[in-house]
């Protein structure tokens, strides 16, 4: 694979991963469950790292990563479940892996192949998280010492991410 083809390939993977990340940010804004929202925050943080790696690889080759528009998810009603959104995210994660795995396996550059295989593996981990959320599993990132609903969480997450200076 020549350099222009490799750049185009990495830009395409980056675009798809960035699109997923933006969707996860939008879903996280409507997920009020403390445990589920924390899981989305973890997934987003890992995706930020994936994107950083891809952006560095693209820049080192002389390319410029693509941008994507922010994703939006309509607010959920009081009785609406996040399960359909989470199920979509699980399916999208599997589709990302299924779509890119054959192409990544054939990359001649070990550095890029290894990096992208790591991204695929972590994307499958995220899919497992989404499947567990859809199943109602509360212990996704470990158990809180005082259990769900313990003091300090108020039973949910705040509507804004950052509040004042700490």
Q: What number of H helices and E strands is found in the chain? A: 4, 0
Residues in Cβ contact with 72 at an 8 Å cutoff, skipping those fewer than 6 apart: 26
| List of residues 6+ apart from 76 with CB closer than 8 A | 30, 82
pTM: 0.82
Rounded CA-CA distance 26/29 in Å is 5
With respect to residue 146, please indicate whether it lies within any of the assigned structural domains.
Answer: no
Asked if residue 164 belongs to a domain, the reply is: no
Whether the pLDDT of residue 142 is over 80: the answer is no
Structure tokens that stand for 147 in this block: 């259990």
- Average per-residue pLDDT for the chain: 86
Question: How confident is the model at residue 144, as a pLDDT?
Answer: 53
Q: 151 lies in a domain?
A: no
Q: Is residue 145 part of a domain?
A: no
Residue-wise DSSP of 78-100: TT--SHHHHHHHHHHHHHHHHHH
128 Cα distance to chain centroid: 12
Q: Tell which wins on pLDDT, 65 or 159.
A: 65
pLDDT bin (cut points 50, 70, 90) of residue 139 is low
Per the structure, the count of domains in the chain is 1
Q: What is the CATH number of the domain that holds 62?
A: 1.20.1260.10
Mean pLDDT of 90-94: 98
What's the mean pLDDT in 143-165?
50
């Amino acid at each position: 694979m020549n350099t222009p083809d490799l750049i185009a390939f990495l830009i395409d993977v980056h675009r798809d991963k960035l699109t997923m990340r933006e969707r996860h940010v939008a879903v996280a804004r409507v997920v009020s469950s403390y445990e589920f929202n924390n899981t989305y925050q973890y997934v987003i943080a890992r995706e930020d790292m994936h994107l950083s790696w891809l952006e560095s690889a693209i820049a080192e080759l002389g390319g410029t990563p693509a941008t994507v528009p922010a994703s939006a998810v309509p607010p959920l009603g009081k009785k609406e479940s996040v399960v359909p959104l989470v199920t979509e995210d699980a399916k999208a994660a599997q589709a990302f892996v299924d779509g890119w795995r054959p192409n990544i396996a054939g990359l001649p550059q070990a550095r890029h192949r290894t990096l992208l295989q790591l991204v695929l593996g972590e994307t499958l981990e995220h899919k497992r998280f989404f499947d567990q959320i859809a199943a109602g599993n509360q212990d996704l990132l470990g158990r809180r010492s005082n259990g769900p609903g313990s003091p300090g969480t108020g039973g949910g997450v705040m509507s804004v991410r950052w509040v004042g200076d700490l």
